[in-house]
Structure 1
Amino acid sequence: MIARRTFLALAALGIAAVAMPRNTLAEEPIRIGDLNSYTSLPAFTVPYRQGWKLALDEINADGGVLGRKLEVISRDDGGNPGDAITVANELVRREGVSMLMGTLLSHVGLAVSDYAAQRETLFLASEPLTDALAWSKGNRYTFRLRPGTYVQAAMLAERAAKLDATRWAIVAPNYEYGQSAVEAFKKLLKARRPDVTFVAEQWPPLFKIDAGAVSQALDAAEPEAIFNVTFGTDLVKFVREGQLRGLFEGRDVVSVLTGEPEWMNPLGDEVPDGWIVTGYPWDTLDTPEHAAFREAYTARFDEHPRMGSVVGYTSLHALAKAMEAAGSTETDAVAAALRGMELATPFGEIRFRAADQQSTMGTFVGETTFRDGHGAIENWSYRDGAEYLPPEDEVESWRPEG
């Protein structure tokens, strides 16, 4: 029989063994899972990663979240929906992350959103622009930061409606983002200008554009204006061939994203003059919030910020604030805190709408130019996303649970 003293000693050891993991757990960092197309689209995703790294430095220097350090476990999603789901599953099941953020391509974001719904894991879709994320395929676990295709198309349609052009041609990548951007632009422009007609549409495969053939087909339709949705290498090829063939001469061009430095910088001195675009005037946006962000980012990485930098920075700060507000890392508590949450960003105050879990972050509309050795946008103005989003009571019915 075990002596009483021995029994008590063993019991104490047992209590310590049970308690030790709990104490250790309390000291472990809170893990956020990040996934993005780092190898396939580094122009946007590398600045995005640097943005969240700057935010991570700030958050941890300020004491972390809920008294614990914040840690980001980052993976490449391969720019492919299947790979992204594999990576998301690895982050959740093997790495034990509390929530997910990131992705860039719309079809990849939709795949991860579906995974998040099935696994009941919170997902902040930082960059994908398809509005299906917030509306037709929205779910209670997915939030979206950037203004989507509807909002950006609405901003551009507002400007396009003031042009004299009535005959429009379209070029867009043939996948979710391109399709949703074109659908929204056509609907919104026709609402403002019923006299507009669309005389040609070109749908090249993503990153496989035959720019010569596309330019020739658009020119043959004799449009008065062009709506462009291409980006990345497709944009470079399209601009080069279009300028070579005189496609843009005497024609207005309205273009999504082209004013963002990620997509404009690769054009070099071939940046077209006077395109109406959505973008980011990093060099001339001098509000106190942005000036402070730009200074901190430049000091940390020795380069100017891109749009991706703002998105990555804001994403991590949003999740950190939501966890603090919830007083927990538990999924439903953090999601509840995000709904309706207001957040200071380099672009000013934004809010995550409760009805569709879409943020009111806006963007800038201006005109392209080549200045001081780099592409830039001029005559720009910031458009608040809240002013272009459909009413919350309307979008509730668009969601599966609405």
Structure 2
Amino acid sequence: MRRIFTKRITASFFLGASLLGASIAATAQDVIKIGEINSYKAQPAFLEPYKKGMELAIDQINAAGGLNGKKVQLITRDDNANPGDAVRVAEELISRDKVDVLTGSFLSHIGLALTDFAKQKKVFFLASEPLTDKIVWQNGNRYTFRLRPSTHMQVAMLVPEASAMKKKRWAIVYPNYEYGQSAAATFKTLMKAAQPDIEFVAEQATPLGKVDAGSVVQALGDAKPDAIFNVLFGADLSRFVREGNTRGLFKGREVVSLLTGEPEYLDPLKDESPTGWLVTGYPWYAIKTPEHDAFKNAYEAKFKDYPRLGSVVGYSAIMSLAAGIKKAQSTDTEKLITAFRGLTLMSPFGSVTYRPEDHQSTMGGYVGRTKLENGKGVMGTFRYIDGATVLPSAEEVKKLRPAD
């Protein structure tokens, strides 16, 4: 009798375990998992708003019924601003967390590491923020797409007005890693093409996050340039601006500056903000379009704070993945690749298309001049430049990008 009872208990246990396993599997199948990797601890100014933008998008998608009848879950990991750590957590997200797609990265050298990982593992990767052109050109592959305007695109937005300044002697300062090197090289190439008599009389390549502002400003001043091209951002930018103001480096000189109009980097300077600089940025306070109003209102309602550029990028990355998954009706890698080639969606900046030839989106950017307003730096005059207008043709891309 005891043996029969024991058998019944054992059978009940395995039946229960089987049903529990089936329930867990069914629940897992009802969720689409997005794995996201970024340098949250190293670059909080941009990435805290970026994460909020992603959260807003996830909330809106799930409130509308999810994707293809499934809820969406975002799983984020910090890469410690280290390419090796980024690859390690990417592997964990795939093998342990069973994510369906990967997205993220901020620093360009980490973006390149994840681009290569996607190729080796044959997993879909949307590079949301890293700016180096190599992600979609020299190191591009079929598994990697990129949202944000690249260094080439942003420099190309600035060059027409920069060359119209007719300044012959230029100095350059940039963070000495992939993004800064790429931006400086692109500026030289495009400016030489637009203004053949240009001279580059000084170049300062600084350690990321460790700029010696005093020596950099001194070296640039000693070269007596007519104009300066700046690629520094974050705390490095703040130190450079403050030291440059103190020593009079910018007085009587034109300054062309990538990223400086982004509120992440302009707002901390307050009344020390530079005036008259030609910059790329995000004048969230003055953009009046239906798509941006809808985004800004929803963001402010949820977080009781105004959006930064990171907010737009995070939101648009998740919405891009949502549009691609809906179009593919699947998270299968090959079906997603097919869906993303030529994918068009509406972002807070308007319509965006992922080009089939290089997987680069046509998201554009705002270009304008900085000024002080109520003790705060803003972009006083600005215009939006469609990313499609500053990208090379499909024929040119063939020479830049390896065949898939």
**TM-score, normalization by structure 1:** 0.94
**3-state SS, counterpart of residue 376 of structure 1:** strand
Equivalent in 204, 220, 226 of residue 224 of structure 1: 226
Once the two structures are aligned, what percentage of the paired residues are identical?
54
Counterpart of 1:45 in structure 2 is 47
**1:60 and 2:68 are equivalent in the alignment:** no
Q: Any gaps of 5 or more consecutive residues in structure 1?
A: 1-8
Q: Secondary structure at the match of 2:257?
A: strand
Render the CA deviation track for 1:379-401: whole Å, top value 9, x for unaligned: 10000000000002221232122
Distance 1:173 1:101 in 2: 24
Counterpart in the other structure of 1:125: 127
Q: Distance in 2 between matches of 1:64 and 1:18?
A: 24
Map residues 183-198 of structure 1 onto 2, 5 A cutoff: 183-198=185-200
TM-fit CA distance, 1:164: 2.9
User: Which of the numbers 73, 83, 86 marks the counterpart of 2:85?
Assistant: 83
Q: Report the equivalent of 2:354.
A: 352
- The Cα RMSD (Å) is 1.9
Unaligned runs of 5+ in 2: 1-10
How big is the shift at 1:28? Answer: 2.9
Q: Deviations over 1:96-118 (max 9, x none)?
A: 00011111000011111111111
Match of 1:272 in 2: 274
2:255 counterpart of 1:253: yes
In structure 1, C-alpha distance between the alignment counterparts of 2:119 and 2:23, rounded to whole Å: 30
- In structure 2, the residue matched to 1:281 is 283
Matching residue within 209, 228, 235 for 2:211: 209
- State the one-letter code of the partner of 2:196: P
Partner of 1:141: 143
What letter corresponds to residue 184 of structure 2 in structure 1? Answer: V
1:150 aligned partner = 152
TM-fit CA distance, 1:207:
0.9
Give the paired residue count.
Answer: 392
Give the counterpart letter for 2:62 in structure 1. Answer: N
Q: Confirm or deny: 8 A CA contact 2:156 2:190 kept in the other structure.
A: yes
The one-letter code sitting in structure 2 at the alignment partner of 1:325 is K
CA distance in 2, matches of 1:332, 1:182: 36
Cross-structure match for 1:179: 181
Q: Relative to structure 1, is the Cα distance of residues 247 and 26 closer, same or farther in structure 2, using a 3 angstrom cutoff?
A: closer
User: 2 CA distance for matches of 1:91 and 1:20?
Assistant: 22
| Larger CA deviation: 154-163 vs 352-361 | 154-163
Q: Quote the Cα distance in structure 1 between the aligned partners of 2:55 and 2:372.
A: 30
> Which residue matches 1:115?
117
SS in structure 2 at match of 1:309? helix
Aligned counterpart, 1:3:
none
- Structure 1 residue 326, shift from structure 2 partner: 0.5
Match of 1:34 in 2: 36
1:318 to 314, 317, 320: 320
Alignment of 1:227-242 (within 5 A): 227-242=229-244
The offset of 1:80, in angstroms, is 1.1
Letter in 2 for 1:181: A
Q: CA deviation at 1:268?
A: 1.6
The Cα of 1:285 is off from its aligned counterpart by 0.4
Q: Quick one: distance in 1 between partners of 2:326 and 2:54?
A: 18
Instruction: Give the CA deviation at 1:371.
Output: 1.4
- The Cα offsets for residues 335-378 of structure 1, whole Å up to 9 and x where unpaired, read as 11011000100000010000100000000000111213432101
- Offset of residue 25 of structure 1: 4.9
Amino acid at match of 2:134: A
1:164 corresponding residue in structure 2: 166
Kindly provide the CA deviation profile for residues 12-60 of structure 1, in whole angstroms up to 9, marking residues without a partner as x. x79x869936971565311000111111111000000000100001000
**What amino acid is the match of 2:304?**
D
What amino acid is aligned across from residue 67 of structure 1 in structure 2? G
Determine whether 1:327 maps to 2:329: yes
Say which SS state the counterpart of residue 189 (structure 1) adopts: helix
CA–CA distance in 1 between the matches of 2:203 and 2:29?
Answer: 57
Structure 1: distance between partners of 2:248 and 2:376: 23
Q: Is structure 2 residue 349 aligned with structure 1 residue 385?
A: no
TM-score by length of 2: 0.94
Q: Work out the CA distance in 1 between the residues paired with 2:328 and 2:360.
A: 19
Instruction: Say whether residues 1:341 and 2:373 are aligned partners.
Output: no
Residues of 2 paired with 1:180 and 1:197: CA distance? 19
Contact 2:34 2:72 in 1 (8 A): yes
Contact 2:171 2:202 survives alignment (8 Å): yes
Amino acid at match of 2:153: V
Letter in 2 for 1:282: W
Structure 2 distance, partners of 1:178, 1:308, is 19
Distance 1:77 1:261, change over 3 A: same
2:52·2:311 contact (CA, 8 Å) conserved in 1?
A: yes
